[in-house]
């Protein structure tokens, strides 16, 4: 299971190379006996294409406007249980 998660995270990072992914986290993991694959859902935040504010803050209680302009995305990566390699990636809607 841990190897499947690591493989999924590496795959997402590779596909989004050059893009600043924030808060890259494991959201869900499920084993599919029918396909012999791990279905690993990874969540991450991407900056929106809005004009960024010059306002900054390091406060958790009062975050800066820029931090509120992040868009959370979820991807489910199918990892082959035998080889440990990514097989596919799909958009996961919440």
Give the separation between CA 35 and CA 86, rounded to whole angstroms.
13
pTM, entire model: 0.77
Q: What is residue 2's predicted lDDT score, i.e. its pLDDT?
A: 97
- Band of residue 66 on the pLDDT scale cut at 50, 70, 90: low
pLDDT higher than threshold 60 for residue 55: no
DSSP tag of 24: E
The per-residue pLDDT for 94 is: 86
């Amino acid at each position: 299971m841990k190897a499947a998660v690591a493989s999924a995270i590496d795959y997402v990072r590779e596909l989004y190379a050059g893009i600043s992914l924030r808060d890259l986290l494991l959201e869900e993991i499920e084993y599919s006996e029918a396909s012999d694959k791990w279905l690993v859902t990874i969540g991450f935040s991407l900056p929106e294409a809005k004009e960024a504010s010059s306002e900054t803050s390091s406060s958790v209680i009062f975050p800066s406007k820029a931090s509120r302009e992040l868009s959370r995305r979820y991807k489910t990566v199918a990892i082959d249980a035998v080889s440990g390699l990514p097989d596919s990636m799909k958009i996961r809607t919440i």
